[in-house]
Structures are given as structure tokens and as C-alpha cells.
Structure 1
Amino acid sequence: MTTERDRRFPRSVFGRGSEADVRFSLANERTFLAWTRTALALIAGGVALEALALDMYAPLRLAASLVLIVAGIVLPIIAWFEWALVERRMREGRPLPHPPTGIVLAAAVVASGILVLLAILR
């Protein structure tokens, strides 16, 4: 007989440990969704930066746009793995890991900011 636990996706998360407190599980999901919204904003910013064709040095402007767009593509993937890891740890009663998503976001914002600054100054 198939149980509710067997039908939940991904099994690598929900097939372990015991059911986590629903408040924490939902907070973990909201965090994942917040990272996804942030990624969407990065993509929109990268597209807007290039589409507006501001009076900047074009190769650096394009590079800044690409940094933002690539970060927007990569961030939800990292956030998904982070969500799964946190959910597994909660289900197993283990300490939560240090999340890498903030570092990825900070690096992308700093890199694109430097590129835009250089594009303006050039």
C-alpha cells in the first residue's frame, strides 16, 4: 500500500526522518520562493540594463547584464538544493546548514555593480 509519505516529491527529502513542524517547513518554502522572486528581479534587471541601451561603455554594460541574468538563472537552482537540505535536516533533527544563496547573490550584485560603475566611468 502506498502511503502519503511515498507520494511526496522529492522522496530524497520526504522519505527521511519524521515530519517537521509545519511552521518551519512552510517558512523554509517561503524562503525558497523569496529567492526565486529575487532571481526573477535579477533577470529583469539584466534585461532592462541591456534593453535601455544607456549611454555607457557597451561591452561592460553587456557584461553586467549577463552577470545579473546568469545569477538569476543559477540562484533558484541553488535555492532548491538549499530548501531540500534544510528540509532534510529539520526532518532528521540535525542542525541547519549555512546557506550559500546569500553569498551567490552578494557576489553577483557586487560584480554587476562594479561593471556598471566602470561602464559609466569609461
Structure 2
Amino acid sequence: MTTSDRRFPAAVYRHGDEPDARFSLANERTFLAWIRTALALLAGGVALEVLGLDLHPQLRLAASLVLVISAVLTSALAWSSWMRTERALRLNAPLPPSLLGPFLGVAVTAAGLLVLLSVVLR
């Protein structure tokens, strides 16, 4: 059993050659930044609902759900993005595009519009 077979996830590490450590560490920092973003979305969604602000209840709940679901999806997309990027680094291939930026742009805009509507309609 080789070293790359024992590393997790094997689906990434069994491909190609070991890249420059600086690139792998930068990829990991990017992954951790997306995880922090997911935690902030989760905290915002929970706070929006738990604080019971004087907002339209159904719209407040909808905005909270958009934020919480976005947090879950951001975590999953961050992991997928880390794996795809690490594999590309190991294969000396072009880096894959990120789906996180457009996804989060839409999600945060939707949550913001729901909160705005809930303020207007209260």
C-alpha cells in the first residue's frame, strides 16, 4: 500500500503527482474560507428565526431557510471544489471553475429580498 492510497480522500490522492505544497495549502485555505462562509450563513439563518424579529413570519422563515439551506450546500460545494481543484493540481491540468460564487450571489440576494419584503409587509 502506497502513501497516496492511505491519504483521504483516495479519489484525489491516487491521481497524478504531488504538487507544490504552496498550491495545496492555498487550496485548503480557500476551502476553509468557504466553510467559514457556510458557518456565517448558518448563524444568520438561525439568528433570523430564533430572535423572533418583528417581521412577516412566513417571509422571515423563508429567508431563514434560504440561509440555512445555502449553508449546507456551501459546505458540500466547498468540499467538491477542494477535491476538483486538488485533483487538477496533481494532474497539472487547468483549474476547474467555482460554482460557489454564483450560487451564493443568488442565495444571499434571495434571502435579502425576502427580509426586505418581510419588513415592508409586517
Identical counterparts, % of pairs: 55
Give the alignment's TM-score, normalised by structure 2: 0.96
Query: Which whole-Å CA distance do the structure 1 matches of 2:32 and 2:52 have between them?
Result: 31
Question: Does residue 4 in structure 1 map to residue 6 in structure 2?
Answer: no
Q: Which residue of 2 aligns with 1:23?
A: 22
Tell me, yes or no, if structure 1 residue 108 matches structure 2 residue 107.
yes
Q: What is the correspondence of 1:29-44 to structure 2 with a 5 Å cutoff?
A: 29-44=28-43
In 2, Cα distance between the equivalents of 1:88 and 1:121? 48
| Counterpart mapping for 1:64-75 below 5 A | 64-75=63-74
Give the partner amino acid of 1:29. E
Q: Which runs of 5+ in 2 are unaligned?
A: none
1:93 aligned onto 2:92: yes
Alignment correspondent of 1:83: 82
CA distance in structure 2 between the aligned counterparts of 1:115 and 1:12, rounded to whole angstroms: 40
Quick one: distance in 2 between partners of 1:97 and 1:3? Answer: 27
CA deviation vs aligned residue, 1:7-66 (integer Å, no higher than 9, x gap): 111111000000011000011011111101110110100010111111111100000000
Matched with 1:60 is 59
Partners of 1:83 and 1:51 in 2: CA distance: 32
Q: State the number of aligned residues.
A: 121
Give the root-mean-square deviation of aligned CA atoms.
0.7
Aligned mates of 2:35, 2:63 — CA distance in 1:
20
Q: Return 5+ residue gaps in structure 1 as ranges.
A: none
